[in-house]
Amino acid sequence: MSESSAKTPLVPSSTSRKLPDFKQSIKLKYVKLGYHILITHGMYLCLTPLVAVSAAQLSTFSLRDLYVLWDHLRFNLIFVIVCSTLLVFLSTVYFLTRPHPVYLLNFSCYKPENDRKCTRQIFMERSRLEGSFNEDSLGFQQKILERSGLGESTYLPEAVLRVPPNPCMAEARKEAEAVMFGAIDELLAKTSVKPKDIGILVVNCSLFNPTPSLSAMIVNHYKLRGNITSYNLGGMGCSAGLISIDLAKDLLQVHPSTYALVVSMENITLNWYFGNDKSMLLSNCLFRMGGAAILLSNKSSDRRRSKYQLLHTVRTHKGADDKCFTCVTQKEDPNQKIGVSLSKDLMAVAGDALKTNITTLGPLVLPMSEQFLFFATLIGRKLLKMKIKPYIPDFKMAFEHFCIHAGGRAVLDELEKNLQLSDWHMEPSRMTLYRFGNTSSSSLWYELAYSEAKGRIKKGDRTWQIAFGSGFKCNSAVWKALRTISPAKEKNPWMDEIQNFPVQVARVAVI
């Protein structure tokens, strides 16, 4: 035996033996996937032996056994009648009290004319020419624009772009008519629904509430029927679009066999701020022109041609708290200029409202595996006083698509972090903010249109729409796709340029 062989130990020393790295040898995501499948299908796994035993027992039944059972029932006629009556009664109660399904036939988003486009450079030029802003305010607006996540193709109404600006009631009505009628015309063409067939109308616009109302303007323009149930929601912020959906859903439960038209928009013409309060200048930098129209139905015959079914709506209102109530406020500045003031507490308030909302939504949508982990850590922290981090449920197991209100880059960054979403999940929201800006309550529909234009929506996919608004409110809606959406058959504001997206949005885009 050679000298080198003699020096080699037959049994490796303890220092040379190393345990395999668990994280390297096993993909933890597959462990979690296995756990998810085990818990989600645990009930079925437990019932399988019971079903097998029952099947084996039934297989031993003979014709003689069935005759004995029938003979036994014949002499217990009262028992059979009572059981049958109870079964019929309970079935009737179930079918009469269960909520009627609500279907989304289609929706449309308004795309303004090209001459309404406002680059960031044009925005700054018009602001300087207007003459109301001092150098400090102009520098602040430029700084916000450079970090806002908005691109060079967002839209502003003619009255704001004009030099000098012309904010008046006539121009505000002109903007409202262009947005509402443009979206509704396209929607009616898509669905082939006649205006006279619409039984419910819900319009939301927070800051522009003329007389006659916006809903009355639609009734007049389209000659809707005289007994239409119409609502005009004002002052409810960027989450008002989902409030309108929730209201329409409730109305469809009591008005059988009808259509509900929901129109979501905001009006900029009369709500442009011409002062120098920085908390009010933010809205000038972020809000842009846009609107959406959505057609809902409770007719079972419409299921086959509808795009989505509404599964859940969850509304959270934090207005009882003074800090939440005052974080978004329309008021006058010291120089009597009216604007919308955004508080520094806005992000903290939004986070608290989101936490409350998802606590309610979670049990409705999350698989049992995620709910078990959430409640286990909650018990450990609250009851057992264990020093463990709170478990954030993985909402990617509940939803395939996320439409988060494009209120601004900071809002999207915070939700991406808190909900642990990927760039792919955030893409519709970020691209909507880049291309159209903050279009208030309608932004969620531009985001869903983006997912459709990209060919992402498959049959059975679930989409979570979540929005924040003054008050302070956080609202959610969950939709299930009833069919695969083919981009080739779609008409929406993204279709003629979707090949250019996504784009890389710089953290700071110098003007």
Active site residues: 238, 317, 401, 405, 438
C-alpha closest to that of 330 among 346, 341, 345: 341
Measured CA to CA, the distance from residue 364 to residue 395 in angstroms comes to 12
Name the one residue in this structure whose structure tokens are 């395939």.
400
> Rg of the chain over CA atoms, in angstroms?
29
Name the one residue in this structure whose structure tokens are 């109530």.
325
CA angle at 113 for the pair 112 and 119, rounded to the nearest 5°: 85
Sheet holding 229-233, edge to edge: 229-233, 198-204, 259-265, 291-297, 102-109, 308-317, 473-481, 462-469, 401-404
Please list the residues that pair with 341 across neighbouring strands: 329
Cβ-Cβ contacts under 8 Å for 286 (sequence gap 6 or more): 144, 148, 150, 407, 408, 437, 438
Beta strands in 179-228 (DSSP E): 198-204
492 three-state secondary structure: coil
Categorise residue 471: left if φ over 0, alpha if ψ from -120 to 50, beta otherwise: left
Categorise residue 192: left if φ over 0, alpha if ψ from -120 to 50, beta otherwise: left
Q: Report residue 432: phi and psi, to 5°.
A: -65, -45
Q: Report residue 392: phi and psi, to 5°.
A: -95, 115
Cβ-Cβ contacts under 8 Å for 355 (sequence gap 6 or more): none
Measured CA to CA, the distance from residue 156 to residue 154 in angstroms comes to 7
- What sign does the dihedral 445-451-454-459 (CA atoms) show? negative
Cβ-Cβ contacts under 8 Å for 160 (sequence gap 6 or more): 126, 167, 268, 269, 272
What one-character DSSP code corresponds to residue 162? S
Beta strands in 215-344 (DSSP E): 229-233, 259-265, 291-297, 308-317, 328-332, 338-342
